[in-house]
């Protein structure tokens, strides 16, 4: 990784003065100067984010196809992304997660919910065609970028959406789904979840092997976030195409947290020319944050039991709000940069990307990385670590584009 790069200093210096760009050692700049450079990079570079839970958040707010559409275009006080903040932060292709809670695989309705969430994303593009567009390929994203449009590619989170029908993989691919996270909070028909101790299949199920093969055939990206280590290595063995963790961080920083990826898994992903897209949530990036969060939850549960209250009671709400304000753990955006740096040093710069999990991790996001307007803060931290503009372009989108095209090439050659 180069410490010297040729780029306009702070987007206002060399180019603004009409002179040739000069090589600058960005590690030697002030934080303010680095941030100006980072803002310029964010606006001029395509940024892909592997995972955002906006569709399910909209659904929870009652924004179904028959309801009033969520005001995505104007700045919102809640949530982590809207059009204004996306433009400020330079994000160009946030993957809309079509999230299926595990309860739906038990009570039914998983496919129907997926269809509803997909229609909601389609409705956003239809409502604001001058600002937002769907995207089903690298070319779509690049063309939308040239037109000044925000791309909304889609991925399914939890293969429970396909229920027990292998034909539903192609059904969702034809509806624009370009990746599928194999599990979520519970084991499903495809494989075992890292959040579930049941080990129902002992890894990938026989049906799961069929699903992986079908995803390879179609050119659908296999997302290995949320699965157990055993399931992962089964997937790595079966898949003929590269694999991606669209929103996972490095387990090195959170020992024992199987939801994050181990060094062995990171190396196997790189061996298959895949990608680890680092997620932002505090409990994913910092062990001290996770420990404090766990202690807070345990305290509140104990207090509620002692007082005979439920979370919905007014007295409980007041106490919880004050307690969390006094005891909320903090972590800085620099910790996310450390995860990126760790993966890059372990397996190379070509195998790391971004997967925020915005709108999916509540109020656990790091200082300086609370919403979609703040990608420049992360880029500035990477510049501080000595990453070049070329490196950052790879992290922001070029690595993902390479992997996505490779997966499509496998499908074409099948």
What's residue 95's pLDDT? 98
> How far apart (Å, rounded) are the C-alpha atoms in residues 393 and 35?
16
How many separate domains does the chain show?
1
Condensed to tens digits (0 to 9), the pLDDT of residues 352-385 reads 999 999 999 988 999 999 999 999 999 999 999 9
Give 308-334 pLDDT, tens digit per residue: 999 999 999 999 999 988 998 999 999
Whole-number Å distance between alpha carbons of 127 and 123 = 6
Q: Would you say residue 11 lies in a domain?
A: no
C-alpha to C-alpha distances, 301 to 51, 61, 249, 362, nearest whole angstrom: 30, 26, 28, 18
- Phi, psi for 244 (deg, rounded to 5): -135, 140
144 lies in some domain: yes
Are 354 and 278 in contact by the 8 Å Cβ rule? The answer is yes
**Considering the chain, what percentage of its residues have pLDDT values greater than 90?**
89
Classify residue 242: in a domain, yes or no. yes
Is 238 exposed, middle or buried, given 0-12, 13-18 or 19+ CB atoms closer than 10 A?
Answer: middle
CATH of the domain at 242: 3.20.20.140
Can you list the alpha helix ranges (DSSP code H) found in 247-374?
263-271, 282-285, 287-307, 314-327, 333-347
Indicate the range of 23-27, 251-255, 318-322 predicted with least confidence.
23-27
CB 376 within 8 A of CB 42: yes
35 in a domain, yes or no?
A: no
Report if residue 87 sits inside a domain.
Answer: yes
Residue 7 confidence (pLDDT): 41
User: Across all residues in the chain, what is the average pLDDT?
Assistant: 93
Strands 48-52 and 352-354: unpaired
Residue 29 falls within a domain, yes or no?
no
Burial call 248-260: b when 16+ CB within 10 Å, e when fewer: bbbbbbbeebbbb
* Residue 311: inside a domain: no
Whole-prediction pTM: 0.92
Q: What average pLDDT does range 254-264 have in this prediction?
A: 97
pLDDT digits (tens, 9 = 90+) for 6-19: 344 443 344 344 44
The runs of H, that is alpha helices, within 128-228 are 138-147, 167-174, 206-218
Identify the domain containing residue 76 by its residue range: 46-286+332-381+388-413
pLDDT, tens only, 106-115: 999 999 999 9
- The pair of three-digit structure tokens given for residue 305, joined into one six-digit string: 């039991």
Residue 344 lies in a domain: yes
Angle between helices 167-174 and 206-218 (to 10 degrees): 30
pLDDT of residue 359: 98
């Amino acid at each position: 990784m180069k410490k010297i790069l040729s780029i306009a200093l702070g987007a206002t210096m060399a180019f603004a003065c009409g002179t040739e760009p000069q090589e600058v050692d960005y590690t030697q700049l002030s934080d303010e100067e680095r941030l100006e450079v980072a803002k310029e990079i964010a606006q001029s570079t395509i940024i892909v984010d592997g995972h955002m839970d906006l569709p399910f958040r909209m659904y929870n707010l009652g924004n179904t196809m028959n309801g009033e559409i969520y005001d995505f275009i104007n700045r919102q006080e809640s949530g982590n992304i809207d059009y204004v903040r996306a433009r400020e932060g330079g994000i160009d292709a946030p993957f809309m997660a079509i999230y299926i809670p595990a309860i739906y695989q038990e009570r039914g309705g998983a496919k129907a919910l997926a269809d509803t969430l997909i229609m909601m994303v389609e409705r956003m593009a239809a409502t604001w065609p001058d600002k937002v567009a769907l995207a089903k390929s690298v070319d779509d994203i690049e063309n939308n970028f040239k037109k000044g449009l925000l791309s909304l590619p889609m991925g399914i989170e939890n293969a429970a959406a396909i229920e027990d029908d292998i034909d539903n993989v192609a059904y969702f691919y034809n509806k624009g789904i370009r990746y599928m996270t194999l599990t979520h909070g519970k084991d499903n028909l495809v494989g075992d979840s890292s959040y579930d101790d049941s080990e129902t299949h002992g890894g990938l199920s026989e049906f799961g092997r069929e699903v992986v093969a079908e995803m390879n055939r179609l050119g659908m990206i296999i997302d290995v976030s949320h699965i157990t280590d055993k399931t992962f290595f089964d997937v790595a063995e079966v898949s003929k195409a590269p694999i991606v963790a669209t929103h996972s961080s490095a387990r090195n920083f959170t020992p024992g947290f199987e939801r994050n990826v181990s060094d062995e898994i990171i190396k196997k992903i790189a061996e298959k020319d895949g990608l680890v897209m680092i997620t932002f949530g505090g409990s994913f990036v910092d062990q001290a944050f996770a420990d404090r969060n766990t202690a807070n939850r345990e305290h509140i549960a104990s207090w509620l039991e002692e007082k005979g209250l439920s979370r919905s009671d007014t007295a409980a709400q007041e106490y919880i709000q004050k307690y969390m304000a006094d005891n909320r753990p903090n972590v800085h955006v620099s910790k996310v940069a450390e995860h990126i740096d760790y993966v890059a040093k372990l397996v190379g710069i070509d195998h790391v990307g971004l997967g925020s999990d915005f709108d999916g991790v509540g109020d656990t996001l790091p200082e300086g990385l609370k919403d979609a307007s703040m990608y420049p803060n992360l880029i500035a931290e990477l510049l501080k670590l000595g990453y070049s503009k070329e490196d950052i372009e790879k992290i922001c989108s070029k690595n993902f584009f390479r992997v996505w095209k490779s997966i499509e090439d496998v499908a074409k050659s099948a």
